[in-house]
Structure 1
């Protein structure tokens, strides 16, 4: 099994791919490999293949970072203090923002997900009274006077 790669090329930021995703996530310190980078090249590329929509792939990567940071706590050793909850809070806010955008996009008219659900629930004439002829429970059925 080959070893994971950790690379970043800022000259490729104009192309949608691994390097742009690293930039958007702030995962550009790749010199230390797994010690400094959130993701390997293979992980980012796999998410981009699994989720062709950019924001969905980014959302899944951010979710992975949240799982990693969730167990980290603030640490104080002598004069040194590490506020690790700030990293979690930053990625949690990014996750919520991306999640809200994804939910909003999936409910927009014309979205492919909505088209798969079938015909619209509301249709013309759905509130028309079909019992306008004859009586309803011993009373004459009401019809609305359209000339009011």
Structure 2
């Protein structure tokens, strides 16, 4: 089994890519659904390792900031890239929301380990909503 570097020198910043190039990055990853029109209006962030793009996130900024998409390249998964992205975004946005499918245990562990608090279930109970501010928690 190959060893996994869990503390690489990852830098996260606002994306230098054009909007079209950001969406192309998502298209290159096989297990990522297409972006919605609303997501295409969001702010793009990227994670770099030695100048190579290894992750991207999209944050919608209408109303409360909402992390709508995060993707890590397959060869960079399990290297704390998502944690680095979450940490950087929480430094920038005073409140950040996201949602995770109720069966996505890895996603739930990730958001809960990076300072997000469970707020409520989605309309049909399939999603959990999270945000970075601790108030109005509803586990119903």
- Structure (1 or 2) with the greater strand fraction: 2
Compare CA radii of gyration and give the structure with the larger one: 1
Q: TM-score, normalised by structure 1?
A: 0.26
TM-score w.r.t. the length of structure 2 is 0.27
Q: RCO higher in 1 or 2 (8 Å CA, sep ≥ 6)?
A: 2
